[in-house]
């Protein structure tokens, strides 16, 4: 067991552990940010500034009674949340969150701060996100209830529609970077341009692909079934959509899967468009701090959108995805291709 | 120790999968399952292409397998649309319900 | 280590395919086929084809099977109706079923016999440039140079299939539906 192997395993375990924690942190962050947007205080009793609230939530969820409708298909009913959660965690496996590090010289060779460096990394994320659709479809079907079935069908139709724009905006970034591996896409964004010889602008792809960034974030929000695209879970309409019949830990799994999908989409967006772990003033091996900062900025943006914008009606949602976002993504791809060929990049 | 897989092993695996798919097309009396068995057969063929590709060191097999996948997608879409249209007429998914052209 | 993975994936694939063919409930058949595709994707990775592996998951497991699942759910297909008789799984009934099963076994035996006649062909160990040779870049080069016509034809095919599927599955607005008849 060489030191590098142990270090790699530690990184993998650490990533998993931090993902679990991020779900808990997001629970609190969502409630506090929502509260401040709505001019109230949010949870403040449990721990300082409500910091122990996620712990209270988790204990509550664990103590609840585990229910299952009698006519539900047992195997599929319990498989669905497992699929959702597994897909959510697995998608983060190829996301890097820092430069190669030697842990302050303890190791001989640098180890990558990611779980798996595949050279088709972006496609893997796309593939595993597609698998997340199954959890939702099966949850809707297996619950054997009309609200769940409708919610599940609508949600999965929405997800597969927005996957197209998601993939096309990814393709534009791949064209600019020339590689499918996320680490190399981040490394291509190192450095600065100097506007007018003086103003340093980081070489992030968001400046080269503003439309692409917008499409990616919109499609990402729709993929994770968050507002304003959360009609399938709309409380006013469908009770709770595909997770109506779920309670206790199975609901917690769905809940967690949604938050981790949010984190994954934000992390991928940071890596693709916002320069990953590159940032000023900090040495390279502390780049993960910048990464965290950027990811939390995007997560704040997610939560802000949820509590500010009204919900799209379902047919408007589908129309937007097919008739506006997909042509915009195609246009973005074509223009990017034209510019890349013309400038010879 | 387990025997190392050679090209022959992969081809044999592909042959077994292909015949499983064929058995499905013959034996099942449900249109959707018949389509699923056709997909099994197509995947067996894809496996053959990619295995020979690995043996020869080219990428042509992968490209052909990619096209097979695309055609399978198109065929599945049209096949399922036909099944939906048929279901609307007879409310049945058994091929035995659509035998009016038999003498 | 690779050999172990091969046998695991191969076993999973064969068992899943057998269950797809033998399973009563079409929903389970679709899910088992997805398992089979995941195992096939693993086999592709072992065969040094990572792009094919990922594309298999994206297209087959992620799109085609979702389509199948939707159709199974919309048509509310519960279990296979076989007339008035009840059948246990893998119960090969009289007549055509026996004949079909025998044919399938004969096919398998024939194929394997034919394949045993070729020489033993072990794989060359992957060279140092194997990753570059089968990388997405290499595939893209071949695809858009030698196979450009096939590529364009495939896009026309997909367009035709999309239009055809939409038209075939549409309710004819002139015909009364079954409820109105």
Q: Which tens digit of pLDDT belongs to each residue from C42-56?
A: 999 888 888 999 999
- Structural domain for C24, as ranges: 1-80
**CB-count burial class (<10 Å; 0-12, 13-18, 19+) for A191:** exposed
Span of A40-49, A336-345, B32-41 with lowest mean pLDDT: A40-49
**Domain match, C134 and C70 both:** no
Number of Cβ within 10 Å of residue C168's Cβ equals 17
Mean pLDDT of chain A: 84
Task: Select from A47, C13, A189, A249 the least CA-distant residue to B15.
Answer: C13
What's the whole-number mean pLDDT along residues B39-52?
94
Is C159 part of the contact surface with chain A (CB cutoff 8 Å)? no
Domain boundaries, chain A: 3-343
Asked, for residue C72, whether it belongs to a domain, the answer is yes
**Peptide bond preceding A228 in cis form (omega within 30 of 0):** yes
CB contact under 8 A, B32 and C68: yes
Which CATH number goes with the domain that contains C65? 1.20.120.1200
Average pLDDT over residues B77-86: 92
Asked whether residue C85 is assigned to any structural domain, the reply reads no
In sequence order, the 6+-apart residues with CB closer than 8 A to the CB of A34 are A42, A303, A306, A307
pLDDT average, residue stretch A232-244:
65
Q: What pLDDT score was predicted for residue C161?
A: 95
Task: Say which residue the tokens 């320069």 belong to.
Answer: A275
Contacts of B81 in chain C (CB under 8 A): 164-169
Closest by CA to A242, choosing from A230, A227, A232, is A232
Q: Do B17 and C17 touch (CB under 8 A)?
A: yes
The reported pLDDT for the residue numbered C138 is 85
Angle at B63 between CA B59 and CA B66, to 5 degrees: 140
Reported ipTM: the value is 0.90
Task: Kindly list the distances between the CA atom of residue B24 and the CA atoms of A115, A216, B21, in Å, as whole numbers in the listed order.
Answer: 40, 42, 5
Q: How many other CB atoms are there within 10 angstroms of residue C47's CB atom?
A: 25
Report if residue C88 sits inside a domain: no
Listed in sequence order, the DSSP H helices in chain C are: 2-22, 26-46, 50-55, 65-74, 96-116, 130-133, 136-145, 148-169
Contact B76 C47 (CB under 8 A): no
For the segment A249-272, the average pLDDT, to the nearest whole number, is: 90
- Whether A230 shows a pLDDT value over 70: the answer reads yes
Q: Does residue C21 sit within a domain?
A: yes
Residues comprising chain C, all counted: 181
Residue C55 lies in a domain: yes
Q: Which of A76, A243, A146, A126 is nearest to C59 (CA)?
A: A126
- Quote the pLDDT of residue A63: 87
Instruction: Indicate if the pLDDT at residue A142 is higher than 70.
Output: yes
C144 touches chain A (CB under 8 A): no
Q: What is the number of CB-based contacts under 8 A between chain B and chain C?
A: 239
Structure tokens at A157: 């139709």
Nearest residue to A141 via CA among A233, A75, A239? A75
B4-8, B35-39, B48-52, C49-53, range with the lowest pLDDT: B4-8
Query: Rounded to 5 degrees, what angle do the CA atoms A35, A40, A42 make?
Result: 50
Out of C49, C65, C80, pick the residue that ends a domain.
Answer: C80
Q: Are A268 and A95 in contact (CB under 8 A)?
A: yes
- Does residue C74 sit in the same domain as residue C138? no
Whether C162 sits inside 8 A of B7 (CB atoms) is no
| pTM for the structure as a whole | 0.88
Contacts of B13 (CB under 8 A, 6+ apart): B47, C10, C13, C14
Per the structure, the count of domains in chain C is 2
pLDDT of residue A107: 55
pLDDT of residue B67: 94
Cβ pair A180:C136 closer than 8 A: yes
């Amino acid at each position: 067991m060489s030191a590098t192997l142990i270090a790699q395993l530690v990184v993998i375990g650490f990533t998993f552990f931090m993902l679990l924690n991020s779900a808990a942190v997001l629970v609190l962050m969502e409630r506090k940010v929502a509260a401040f947007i709505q001019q109230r205080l949010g949870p403040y009793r449990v721990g300082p500034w409500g910091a122990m609230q996620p712990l209270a939530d988790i204990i509550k969820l664990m103590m609840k009674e585990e229910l299952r409708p009698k006519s539900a298909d047992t195997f599929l009913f319990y498989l669905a949340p497992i699929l959702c959660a597994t897909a959510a965690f697995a998608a983060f496996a190829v996301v890097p969150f820092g430069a190669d590090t030697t842990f302050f010289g303890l190791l001989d060779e640098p180890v990558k701060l990611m779980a798996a460096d595949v050279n088709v990394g972006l496609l893997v994320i796309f593939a595993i996100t597609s698998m997340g659709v199954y959890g939702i479809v099966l949850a809707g079907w297996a619950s054997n209830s009309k609200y769940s079935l409708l919610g599940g069908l609508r949600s999965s139709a929405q997800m597969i529609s927005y996957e197209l724009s998601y993939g096309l905006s990814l393709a534009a970034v791949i064209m600019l970077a020339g590689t499918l591996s996320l680490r190399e896409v981040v490394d291509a964004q190192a450095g600065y341009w100097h506007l007018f010889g003086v103003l340093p602008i980081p070489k992030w792809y968001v400046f080269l692909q503003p439309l692409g960034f917008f499409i990616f974030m919109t499609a990402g929000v729709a993929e994770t079934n968050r507002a304003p695209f959360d009609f399938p879970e709309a409380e006013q309409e469908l009770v709770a959509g595909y997770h109506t019949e779920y309670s206790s830990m199975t609901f917690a799994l769905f809940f967690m899967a949604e938050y981790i999908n949010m984190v994954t989409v934000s992390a991928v967006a940071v890596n693709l468009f916002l320069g990953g772990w590159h940032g000023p003033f900090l040495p390279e091996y502390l780049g993960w701090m910048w990464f965290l900062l950027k990811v939390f900025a995007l997560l704040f943006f997610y939560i802000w959108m949820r509590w500010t914008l009204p919900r799209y009606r379902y047919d408007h949602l589908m129309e937007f995805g097919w008739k506006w976002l997909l042509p915009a993504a195609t246009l973005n791809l074509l223009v990017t291709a034209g510019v890349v060929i013309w400038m010879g990049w | 120790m387990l025997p190392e897989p050679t090209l022959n092993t992969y081809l044999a695996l592909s042959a077994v999968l292909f015949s499983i798919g064929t058995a499905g097309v013959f034996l099942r009396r449900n249109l959707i399952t018949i389509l699923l068995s056709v997909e099994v057969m197509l995947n067996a063929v894809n496996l053959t292409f990619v295995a020979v590709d690995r043996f020869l060191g080219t990428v042509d097999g992968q490209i052909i397998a990619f096209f097979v996948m695309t055609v399978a997608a198109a065929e599945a879409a049209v096949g399922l649309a036909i099944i939906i249209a048929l279901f609307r007429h007879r409310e049945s998914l058994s091929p035995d319900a659509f035998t009016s052209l038999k003498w | 280590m690779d050999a172990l993975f091969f046998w695991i994936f191969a076993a999973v694939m064969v068992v899943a395919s057998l269950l797809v063919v033998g399973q009563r409930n079409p929903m389970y058949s679709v899910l088992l086929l997805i398992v089979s595709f995941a195992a096939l994707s693993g086999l592709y990775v072992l065969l040094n084809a990572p792009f094919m592996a990922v594309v298999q998951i994206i297209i087959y497991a992620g799109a085609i099977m979702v389509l199948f699942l939707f159709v199974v759910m919309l048509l509310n297909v519960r279990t296979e109706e076989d007339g008035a008789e009840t059948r246990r799984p893998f119960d090969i009934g009289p007549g055509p079923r026996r004949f079909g099963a025998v044919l399938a076994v004969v096919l398998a035996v024939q194929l394997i016999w034919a394949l045993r006649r070729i020489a033993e062909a072990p794989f060359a160990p992957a060279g140092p440039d194997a990753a570059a040779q089968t990388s997405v870049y290499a595939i893209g080069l071949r695809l858009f140079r030698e196979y450009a016509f096939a590529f364009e034809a495939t896009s026309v095919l997909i367009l035709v299939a999309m239009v055809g599927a939409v038209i075939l599955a549409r309710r004819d607005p002139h015909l009364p539906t079954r409820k109105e008849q």
